[in-house]
Structure 1
């Protein structure tokens, strides 16, 4: 079958080109070479993220700045080679470049090259601010872990399958926050001091009261806003208990869908035509586009 990239799926006994062999190593995870490639890439991602974290500590940056810069460029060049290899061996390079993982891979290497460019059109302080913002983009490397996490797709599919139930749950949470926030504004927002002046209570508006309701329902409890009246405390206690009851709902919904997804026997093979994953173990053709696997 001819693909847009003019790369054909070899038949049994036919010699495979280096692009097809590289594709199996880079994009697949069901061969020893593919597993080794993913393990090495996984370790490189962890180490590169660690370098970014250490660089943000001023004392470490002042003492080991040169070493950190060298490590940063090493990982950037390594990920650049990986990015180029993925483009070179992908049957449809543009499909990979503009895919989610392709954009993440580009964002993982682009900031380092942008930082190296001289910036002379803005003030030094603005330049430092820009560089710091670009350094933050290097945290996108952590998302490259999704290439190696087998269960990431299963979790994504479970969340997507439970989207209707999760939407109903979130709607209930929003309605509860609005109702309780309005009630707390009515109960606590109109308190007066001894001189008859309005006292700031943190419930002076419905949005501020809704903020307290969200903090309380999620069991965070910053303590910056709290009721003082008996009715307000009673309503707050109900909100806390409701939060404890509601916190397990989305976990149960997603877990049920995840358990159902885990019962399906999937493989890690990626379709060369549409780059889709999650095929059945005995599948010979892609269930999304029909291309032979």
Structure 2
């Protein structure tokens, strides 16, 4: 695949040339003697853009300057206002849509402000914006830079490298295949730790009763197994905590986060028990108290699940955002318990100098009042006097009002946050879909540019091609193939394609190169041979290469955005 094997005039001097074995498309076979087409200077304004066009929306006619409709590219009205669109060519279009909502759409083109009408709900307005192919600010997809800045604020290293890769692997389950594998491993260890924590408290296993077996394993062996699992779980999460601290560039603020503090406290009892002399003597009582903190380990394991469970995050966020409501509920409940507890005590004890009933103090009576207001009613304590029974009835009825009002507010907040979570999940899916579409667009732009080099400057898709011109195009395609095939292997791989596109001034990412190779690769072997390359050129001739807008529309239709073509609901006259 050495370049320059075919004689011909060189390309312009500002084009890349081959030097020291580097790739260029410097020499290609002569093309037509016809001069290249000279296009109008882009700075020359089209005078036809100052004219007014008419838009009939739902029977109401609107007039607007054509130039204003071109202010927001990639939208429906922009497509209709450029050459080839109905408004540009005919000056008229009809939409079978809501005319009142269309007023707000036109304001977006006039003032660059998009405001939802007060008479529409969010879902209906979103459908209108979908039709006009306008991005809904409420469903706006964050850019990669915005996501990066948020992650940097959370502690991600700003510069690319091992530390940033480690941070993404540990903190962002969707960052890569490695982060997904680590997330799966973490969830497995969490579940294993919780199961072991629960089963080890079984009396036969806890007391290591002899001659008791489960599945052929004695109780003592089960106890040893659960102890090993505990050691493994603690070591795993201790290592995870250390690595997360190590790769976090905000180390001073790392342990100010509640979840990190819980992770630290969850593993502390295990290490304190291993210190020499702590488990005996004066330190024994301290360890007994510290063992109570082991329950936090389970809390920590459960909280870790929230990192991988959207529903758990919604529940936690609801609790945090309903602090005022929960505070009001707690104060109201405390007042009610003290009042009814006092009433229980004095109703059940006519004489205070003698212990007449089980309600021997206001503290115990407050406990009875609490389980009565919460409508639990264990039955361990019950009033025996008429006054006490009346108090219990009033306390039960009061509990309905005390719990009912704040609970409804909390329920509404949970519903709102749950809908927000669903919207964010949809946006994340759309963002991933659009990222894939962007890679396909980059690949298409690259191969279209490569195709234009092969077809020549004067050729346009749809032109009549004679047999002589077709033979010249195939000859030119062969020359380009041999020059792109840098190692002369008879096939073009991704590295050679990338070098070629860089030489043409259209560098492509690895993902886009993979898309370009996949587009031309018919046998699926990952490289392009001369036959496949010639087939690609013939597809360019017949116009079988999709436009970039078709890729965008296909990506949007594939998901929740449902971008519709204007041809179905518009008509030009």
The verdict on a shared fold, with TM-score over 0.5 as the criterion, is: yes
Q: Give the TM-score normalised by structure 1.
A: 0.72
1:139 lines up with 2:295 in the alignment: no
1:21 lines up with 2:160 in the alignment: no
How many pairs are equivalent? 261
CA distance in 2, matches of 1:177, 1:198: 24
1:88 lines up with 2:246 in the alignment: yes
CA distance in 2, matches of 1:44, 1:198: 57
1:75 lines up with 2:204 in the alignment: no
Q: Give the counterpart of 2:367 among 191, 194, 211.
A: 211
Shift of 1:98: 3.7
Q: Give the counterpart of 2:274 among 95, 111, 116.
A: 116
Shift of 1:256: 0.7
Give secondary structure in 2 for the equivalent of 1:219: coil
CA distance in 2, matches of 1:74, 1:129: 22
CA distance in 1, matches of 2:168, 2:234: 23
Partner residue in 2 for 1:173: 333
Shift of 1:23: 1.6
Partner residue in 2 for 1:9: 158
Q: Give the counterpart of 1:160 among 315, 320, 325.
A: 320
Shift of 1:9: 3.1
Q: Aligned runs of 1:98-117 on 2, under 5 Å?
A: 98-117=256-275
Structure 1, residues 47-77: CA drift from partner, whole Å, max 9, x if none?
Answer: 1122222333342253223322222222222
Are the aligned partners of 1:227 and 1:233 in contact in 2 as well (CA < 8 Å)? yes
- Kindly report the root-mean-square deviation, in angstroms, between the aligned alpha carbons of the 2 structures: 3.6
Which one is further off, 125-134 or 40-49? 125-134
Partner residue in 2 for 1:52: 197
| Structure with greater helix percent | 1
Shift in alpha-carbon separation, 1:123–1:150, aligned structure 2, 3 A: same
CA distance in 2, matches of 1:109, 1:70: 15
Structure 1, residues 254-281: CA drift from partner, whole Å, max 9, x if none?
Answer: 111122223436759xxxxxxxxxx9x9
Shift of 1:199: 4.8
Q: Give the TM-score normalised by structure 2.
A: 0.40
Are the aligned partners of 1:26 and 1:37 in contact in 2 as well (CA < 8 Å)? yes
Partner residue in 1 for 2:391: 235
Give secondary structure in 2 for the equivalent of 1:223: coil
Are the aligned partners of 2:269 and 2:291 in contact in 1 as well (CA < 8 Å)? no
Shift in alpha-carbon separation, 1:37–1:173, aligned structure 2, 3 A: same
Larger Rg: 2
Shift in alpha-carbon separation, 1:249–1:241, aligned structure 2, 3 A: same
Partner residue in 2 for 1:252: 408
Shift of 1:41: 0.5
Shift of 1:86: 0.8
Structure 1: gaps of 5 or more residues: 11-15, 269-278, 283-293
Give secondary structure in 2 for the equivalent of 1:213: helix
Are the aligned partners of 1:23 and 1:89 in contact in 2 as well (CA < 8 Å)? yes
| Structure with greater strand percent | 2
Are the aligned partners of 1:25 and 1:31 in contact in 2 as well (CA < 8 Å)? yes
Which one is further off, 252-261 or 236-245? 236-245
Partner residue in 2 for 1:40: 185
Which one is further off, 138-147 or 90-99? 138-147
